[in-house]
């Protein structure tokens, strides 16, 4: 593998960049792998990377039906934070945060993890109680955070409308300084390149169309490129999890919904942090390229169409205008949609299934991007050891039977 650095960049400039190697190979599938990861998004590639790196599994493949990073990895608004309320969620996302903090160096790929801080706004007294509760819980879980009042917020984000005259005035916010954004595509590419370097086969344009199983054990997968044998199959196909589960004869407590986002035209830097509001429903940051990146609420209906309804966009836009009236004359350049699997408790499923050797990692709802490294790390452990890591033990499917839900939306009202 070419090592990336300022020196290799300079050296290659001298040879007109003609000597750069492929970032990852384009292998044909082997007949058999020790493990297969279905889904070449950030989570799937991260899973393969950590299986190779942490568990020494080298004969593994990632199967992607289209192009890697083409699903929600390349469609989200790139927010990273770990200030979740419940212990189980906070510890999982904090693991992810710690991985983010060294990810560029670990992967030798600049994923542009930018710890510019994340604000979650409160607009009602109850919002503020919930914010206090969450920040206090974060403190005891070792997650950084502080509560900021409206006056302080106005100083830190001068263009935020903190006027008491707005429909739902901003009363304060929680702030996680270590939160921020990352370059979403680079996360997929960085994991792919690093996994490939450890021998992982990344096979694009390879759609899984069925599972073979015998005596309750997985045998392999049928794909558009033929049958591939493997005793372990981990499925990480956000948006399509139910479809894959159905192929294996399983049902999941999931519904797939469109989630939309949009960007403005590029403008000069004006917002150097991330601002999220659950109450008025919008969140915003500015990319390094200058686009304002804005996320909308989820569309209510089930949908696999990677598009939602215009009213959802309009509603989000009113929220953004409420928070940042100065952007009224800026223009929206492009909008798009992804498909998110939503779980009843707004927490993921990272779990073994009733079929031995078949594992599912799904249900991230609107919040999957930030978990990418951590999700891959615990799922790699789960698949490699046929047993969950203690960080994801609580995220097993049996919680829906016992009732031991980890209700993040019921509790904190903060998604994304």
Q: Which of the residues 148 through 167 are near another protein (CB under 8 A)?
A: 159, 165-167
Question: Does the footprint of another protein cover residue 216 (CB under 8 A)?
Answer: no
What span, in angstroms and rounded, lies between the C-alpha atoms of 149 and 37?
A: 45
One residue of 409, 414, 415, 416 binding another protein per CB under 8 A? 409
Query: Could you give the dihedral angle defined by the CA atoms of residues 350, 89, 97 and 386, in that order, rounded to the nearest 10 degrees?
Result: -30
With binding defined as CB under 8 A, does residue 254 bind another protein? yes
Candidate residues 53, 290, 356, 389; the one interacting with another protein per rule CB under 8 A: 290
Restricted to residues 345-384, the positions that interact with another protein (CB under 8 A) are none
Stretch that binds another protein, among 46-54, 224-232, 320-328, 375-383 (CB under 8 A): 320-328
Residue 224 interacting with another protein (CB under 8 A): no
Kindly indicate which of the ranges 41-49, 54-62, 330-338, 378-386 contains the residues binding another protein, using the contact rule CB under 8 A: 330-338
180 alpha carbon, distance to own chain's centre:
13
> Stretches 28-36, 40-48, 149-157, 397-405: which one binds another protein (CB under 8 A)?
397-405
Rounded least distance, CB 183 to another protein, Å: 8
State which of positions 35-74 bind another protein (CB under 8 A).
66-70, 74
Query: Which of 21, 28, 155, 214 touches another protein by CB under 8 A?
Result: 21
Instruction: Find all residues with CB under 8 Å of 139, minimum gap 6, and list them.
Output: 145
Sign of the CA dihedral with 401 first, then 402, 406, and 411 last: positive
Q: Is 259 helix (H, G, I), strand (E, B) or coil?
A: strand
Partners of 146 in beta bridges: 175
Which strand (E) or helix (H) includes residue 307? none
| Dihedral (Cα; 305, 310, 316, 317), 10-degree rounding | 140
Counting contacts by CB under 8 A, is residue 333 touching another protein? yes
Rule CB under 8 A: which of 105-134 touch another protein? 105, 108-116, 123-126, 128-134
**Contact present, 252 and 360 (Cβ < 8 Å):** yes
Query: Least separation, in Å, of the C-beta of 54 and another protein?
Result: 21
249 belongs to the binding site for another protein (CB under 8 A): no
Burial of 236: CB neighbours in 10 Å, binned 0-12, 13-18, 19+:
buried
Q: Structure tokens of 288?
A: 């390094």
With contacts defined by CB under 8 A, name the span among 181-189, 213-221, 229-237, 385-393 that binds another protein. Answer: 181-189
Among 30, 31, 58, 334, contact with another protein (rule: CB under 8 A): 334
Joined tokens for residue 81? 């934070």
Choose one: 208-216, 229-237, 306-314, 366-374; the region binding another protein (CB under 8 A). Answer: 306-314
Q: Please report whether residue 27 would count as binding another protein according to CB under 8 A.
A: no
Pick from 198, 201, 220: which is nearest to 210 by CA? Answer: 220
Instruction: State in Å, rounded, how far the first CA of the chain is from the last one.
Output: 35
């Amino acid at each position: 593998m070419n090592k990336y650095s300022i020196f290799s960049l300079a050296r290659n400039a001298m040879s007109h960049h003609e000597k750069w190697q492929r970032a990852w190979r384009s292998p044909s599938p082997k007949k058999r792998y020790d493990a297969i990861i279905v889904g070449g998004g950030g989570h799937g590639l991260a899973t393969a990377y950590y299986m190779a790196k942490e568990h020494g599994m080298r004969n593994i493949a990632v199967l992607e039906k289209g192009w890697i990073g083409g699903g929600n990895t390349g469609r989200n608004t790139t927010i990273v934070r770990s200030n979740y309320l419940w212990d189980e969620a906070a510890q999982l996302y904090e693991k992810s945060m710690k991985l983010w903090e060294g990810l560029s160096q670990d992967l030798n790929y600049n994923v542009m993890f930018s710890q510019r801080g994340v604000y979650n706004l409160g607009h009602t007294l109850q919002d503020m109680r919930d914010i206090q509760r969450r920040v206090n819980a974060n403190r005891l879980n070792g997650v950084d955070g502080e509560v900021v009042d409206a006056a302080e917020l106005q100083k830190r984000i001068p263009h935020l409308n903190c006027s008491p005259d707005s429909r739902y005035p901003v009363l304060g916010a929680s702030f996680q300084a270590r939160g921020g954004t990352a370059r979403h595509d680079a996360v997929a590419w960085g994991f792919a390149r690093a996994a490939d370097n450890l021998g992982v086969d990344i096979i694009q344009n390879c759609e899984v169309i069925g599972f073979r199983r015998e005596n309750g054990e997985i045998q392999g997968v049928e794909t558009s490129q033929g049958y591939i044998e493997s005793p372990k199959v981990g499925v990480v196909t956000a948006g399509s999890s139910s479809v894959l589960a159905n192929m294996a004869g399983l049902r999941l407590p999931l519904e797939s919904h469109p989630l939309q986002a949009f960007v403005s035209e590029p403008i000069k830097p004006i917002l150097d942090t991330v601002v999220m509001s659950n109450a008025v429903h919008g969140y915003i940051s500015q990319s390094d390229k200058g686009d304002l990146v804005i996320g909308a609420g989820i569309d209510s209906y089930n949908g696999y169409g990677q598009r939602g309804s215009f009213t959802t966009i309009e509603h989000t836009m009113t929220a953004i205008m409420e928070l940042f009236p100065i952007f009224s004359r800026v223009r929206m350049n492009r909008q798009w949609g992804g498909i998110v699997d939503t779980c009843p408790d707004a927490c993921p499923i990272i779990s073994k299934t009733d079929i031995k050797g078949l594992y599912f990692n799904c249900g991230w709802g609107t919040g999957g991007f930030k978990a990418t490294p951590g999700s891959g790390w615990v799922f790699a452990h789960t698949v490699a050891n046929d047993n969950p890591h203690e960080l994801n033990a609580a995220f097993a499917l049996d919680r829906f039977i016992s009732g031991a839900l980890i209700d993040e939306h019921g509790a904190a009202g903060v998604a994304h």
